[in-house]
C-alpha cells in the first residue's frame, strides 16, 4: 500500500476549527493591548519572543516530531538539561565554545539513542520509555552535581563566544530567533516536503498499516527520537549561555508547554496531524497569554492556571474536530 493510499485514509477536519488558534492569538493580542497599555510595544514584543518564545519554540519543535510519529517525548526536558550540563562542563574544562556546543548536542543525541533503543529496539511504548529516561536523567544530574547544584562558568573566564550565543544578534535579530527559524524550517521541510516526512506521518497515523506496507517503522522511530533530543539539547545550550551556568532541571519547565503547543498545532491541519507552523502558533499563543497575564498583575500561579485552561480548551477543540472528521 502506497503512502498516497495511507494519506487517503484520513478525512478532512472541519475548516472552521483550523482557524481557531490564529483567531485566538489575534483575540489575545487585542484584549491584552486594551488591558495592558505596554503590551503591544516593540520592546515588550521582542522581550516575549526572546525570553518566552524562543526556547519554548525549540523544545516544541522537538516535541512535534515525536507527536507526528504517534508518540510523545516526556524526556525532552532531560535532553535540555543534559545538553546544558555537558556544554557548561566542557567550557569549564577549557574546551572552545564550539566544541562545548558539539558536546552538548552529543549529550542530547545520547539521550535520544537511549530512547530509540527502548522504543524501536525493545518496543516499549514511547510514554513509558521516555518517562523512564526522564527519571534516569534526573538521577544522572543529581549524581554529577552533588545532589543537583548549579554549575557556574567562572566569571573571569567567560569566553566572548559564550556571551554571543546568549545575548548576541545577527543583522539586529537575536541569535536565538535565528536558531528557531533554522530549526523550524528544517523540521517543516522534513515533515511536510520529504518522503521521510510522509513515512513519519504514516507511522504516526496507521502504524500497523505502515508496517505491513513495508515502511521501516523502527528506523523511522529511532531517527525521530534521536532528532528530538538533539534539537532539545540546543535549547539547553542557549539556557546556559544566557545565565553562564547549568541550572538543574530547568528543562522540565518547557515540557508541558511543548506538549500543549504540539497538540494545539494539530488544529491547523485538515487531518489533525502535528505540524511545525501550528506548533509555533501554539508557542506564540501560550507566550503572549503568559506575558499578558503578568502585565495585568496576575501572579505566577494564576498564569499557570490560565495557560492550563487555554491548553485544555485547545485540545478539546482539536480532539472534537478529529472525532467529527472520523
Which tens digits make up the pLDDT trace of 196-247? 989 999 998 888 888 888 889 999 999 999 999 999 999 999 999 999 999 9
Do the Cβ atoms of 126 and 218 come closer than 8 Å? Answer: no
Q: What stretches of the chain adopt beta strand conformation (E)?
A: 151-152, 169-170, 173-174, 245-246
CA distances (Å), origin 214, targets 7, 197, 263, 314: 16, 16, 28, 35
What pLDDT sits at residue 318?
57
What pLDDT sits at residue 323?
52
What pLDDT sits at residue 268?
78
User: Cell 517503522 belongs to which residue?
Assistant: 217
What is the rounded distance in angstroms from the CA atom of residue 287 to the CA atom of residue 279? 12
The tens-digit pLDDT sequence of the chain (326 residues) is 455 544 444 444 455 556 777 888 888 898 888 988 888 898 899 989 988 899 999 999 999 999 999 999 999 999 999 999 999 999 999 899 999 999 999 999 999 999 999 999 999 999 999 999 999 999 999 999 888 889 998 887 788 899 999 888 999 899 999 999 999 999 999 999 999 989 999 998 888 888 888 889 999 999 999 999 999 999 999 999 999 999 999 998 899 889 989 988 887 777 778 899 999 999 999 899 888 888 888 777 777 777 777 777 766 665 565 555 45
The number of residues in the chain equals 326
Phi, psi of 145 (to 5 degrees): -130, 30
Amino acid at each position: 500500500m502506497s503512502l498516497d493510499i495511507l494519506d487517503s485514509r484520513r478525512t478532512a477536519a472541519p475548516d472552521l476549527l483550523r482557524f481557531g488558534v490564529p483567531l485566538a492569538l489575534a483575540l489575545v493580542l487585542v484584549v491584552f493591548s486594551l488591558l495592558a497599555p505596554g503590551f503591544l510595544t516593540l520592546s515588550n514584543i521582542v522581550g516575549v519572543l526572546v525570553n518566552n518564545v524562543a526556547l519554548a519554540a525549540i523544545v516544541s519543535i522537538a516535541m512535534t516530531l515525536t507527536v507526528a510519529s504517534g508518540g510523545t517525548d516526556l524526556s525532552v526536558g532531560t535532553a535540555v538539561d543534559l545538553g546544558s550540563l555537558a556544554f557548561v562542563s566542557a567550557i569549564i574544562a577549557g574546551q572552545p565554545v564550539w566544541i562545548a556546543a558539539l558536546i552538548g548536542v552529543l549529550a542530547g543525541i545520547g539521550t535520544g539513542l537511549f530512547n530509540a533503543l527502548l522504543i524501536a529496539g525493545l518496543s516499549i511504548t514511547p510514554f513509558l520509555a521516555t518517562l523512564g529516561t526522564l527519571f534516569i536523567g534526573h538521577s544522572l544530574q543529581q549524581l554529577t552535581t552533588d545532589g543537583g547544584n548549579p554549575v557556574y562558568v567562572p566569571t573571569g573566564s567567560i569566553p566572548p563566544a559564550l556571551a554571543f550565543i546568549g545575548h548576541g544578534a545577527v543583522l539586529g535579530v537575536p541569535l536565538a530567533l535565528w536558531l528557531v527559524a533554522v530549526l523550524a524550517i528544517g523540521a517543516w521541510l522534513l515533515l511536510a516536503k520529504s518522503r521521510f516526512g510522509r513515512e513519519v506521518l504514516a507511522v504516526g497515523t496507521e502504524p500497523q498499516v505502515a508496517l505491513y506496507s513495508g515502511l521501516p517503522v523502527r528506523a523511522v522511530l529511532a531517527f525521530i527520537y534521536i532528532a528530538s533530543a538533539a534539537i532539545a539539547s540546543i535549547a539547553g545550550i542557549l539556557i546556559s549561555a544566557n545565565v553562564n551556568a547549568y541550572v538543574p532541571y530547568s528543562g522540565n519547565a518547557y515540557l508541558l508547554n511543548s506538549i500543549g503547543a504540539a497538540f494545539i498545532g494539530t488544529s491547523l491541519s485538515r487531518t489533525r496531524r502535528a505540524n511545525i507552523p501550528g506548533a509555533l502558533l501554539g508557542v506564540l499563543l501560550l507566550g503572549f497569554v503568559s506575558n499578558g497575564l503578568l502585565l495585568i498583575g496576575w501572579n505566577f500561579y494564576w498564569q499557570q492556571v490560565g495557560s492550563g485552561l487555554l491548553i485544555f480548551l485547545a485540545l478539546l477543540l482539536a480532539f472534537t474536530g478529529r472525532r467529527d472528521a472520523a
